[in-house]
């Protein structure tokens, strides 16, 4: 903590001058990079598919009381068109990358509302912002012109990965493997003194400008520190309203039903082939 305090004292001399908003309100533009084919046979053997590093753009509006994070439709429409043209020119195909995820946070009341889709159905999840077990280090780097400090949520969660294979007779074999979720790594900027960030992440003494999780990297590429109109803070609305715990139960049930349906379809196809 002593080292962190020293770093905070150093910031006024190390970062760019602040605007009149003093870093407490503005707009942040993020790019997401995902190694979607890393280590797969598709990535190694077929160059006509989408590139190994896929990216998408997101936008975050914030002030001291609230924040709103969403897919940056304008930026992504241009990127999607360019990628589709490249893929088709190489004789391959391109699947549009689109996200309906919306995330509103009421920082003053420590509550959030998010919109997400699950197998074609949209849900509105409302709940309290949970406390995240961040461990703040001393490593620093410059991101989008701001000196940031590294923090992590240690990998303490073990989950069961299920892989289902079906043989020629339609018999399903389920393999379960214990895996770690992996550390969540964040880089936050103390000169932007709003405890928020992309999606569900928050709770650090400064805005989160970079996140690394499960091979995905989300990083701020541009900031506009200026007052934002309250109209941009849109609370997601919809008919299916649940809390986070209920949504997770629904999600697990839907995944189970999907696996069972695939197994049933495979057995049916096998029976037809054997006739």
Average pLDDT over residues 141-160: 86
DSSP conformation class of 219: E
Distance CA 87, CA 96 (A): 11
* 221 or 92, higher pLDDT: 221
* 44 or 58, higher pLDDT: 58
Is residue 33 classed exposed, middle or buried when 0-12, 13-18 and 19+ CB atoms within 10 A define those classes? middle
- Residue 261 CA to its chain's centroid (Å): 28
Average pLDDT over residues 210-230: 93
For 188, the token pair is 């936050």
* 258 or 169, higher pLDDT: 258
pLDDT at 82 over 80: no
When pLDDT is cut at 50, 70 and 90, the band that residue 4 belongs to is low
DSSP conformation class of 237: -
**Residue 73 host element (H or E):** helix 73-89
pLDDT at 237: 93
Residue of 227, 224, 235, 196 whose CA lies nearest to 28: 224
DSSP conformation class of 239: S
Distance CA 192, CA 189 (A): 6
Three-state secondary structure of 241-253: EECHHHHHHHHHH
pLDDT at 110 over 70: yes
Q: Could you tell me if 232 and 163 are in contact, meaning their C-beta atoms sit under 8 angstroms apart?
A: no
pLDDT at 97 over 50: no
Q: Compute the C-alpha angle 40/44/47, nearest 5°.
A: 120
Distance CA 36, CA 52 (A): 6
**Residue 23 host element (H or E):** none
**Above pLDDT 90, what percent of the chain?**
48
Distance CA 20, CA 42 (A): 50
């Amino acid at each position: 903590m002593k080292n962190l305090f020293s770093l905070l004292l150093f910031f006024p001399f190390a970062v760019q001058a602040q605007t009149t908003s003093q870093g407490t309100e503005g707009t942040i533009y993020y790019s997401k990079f995902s190694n979607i084919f890393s280590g797969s046979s598709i990535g190694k053997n077929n160059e006509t598919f989408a590139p190994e590093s896929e990216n998408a753009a997101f936008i975050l509006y914030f002030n001291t009381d609230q924040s709103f994070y969403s897919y940056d439709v304008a930026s992504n429409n241009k990127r999607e068109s360019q990628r589709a043209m490249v893929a088709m020119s190489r004789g391959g195909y391109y699947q549009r990358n689109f996200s309906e995820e919306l995330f509103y946070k009421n920082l003053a009341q420590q509550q959030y509302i998010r919109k997400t889709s699950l197998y074609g159905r949209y849900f509105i999840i409302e709940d309290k912002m949970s406390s995240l077990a961040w461990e703040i280090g001393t490593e620093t780097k410059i991101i989008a012109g701001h000196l940031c400090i590294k923090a992590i949520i240690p990998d303490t969660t073990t989950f069961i990965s299920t892989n289902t294979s079906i043989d020629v007779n339609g018999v399903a074999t389920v393999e379960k493997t214990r895996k770690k979720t992996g550390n969540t790594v964040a880089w936050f900027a103390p000169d932007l003194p709003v405890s928020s960030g992309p999606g569900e992440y928050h709770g650090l003494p400064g805005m989160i400008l970079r996140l690394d999780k499960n091979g995905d990297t989300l990083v701020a590429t541009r900031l506009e520190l200026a007052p934002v109109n309250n109209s941009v803070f849109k609370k997601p609305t919809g008919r299916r309203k649940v809390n986070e715990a209920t949504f997770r139960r629904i999600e697990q049930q839907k995944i189970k039903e999907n696996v069972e349906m695939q197994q049933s379809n495979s057995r049916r196809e096998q029976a037809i082939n054997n006739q």
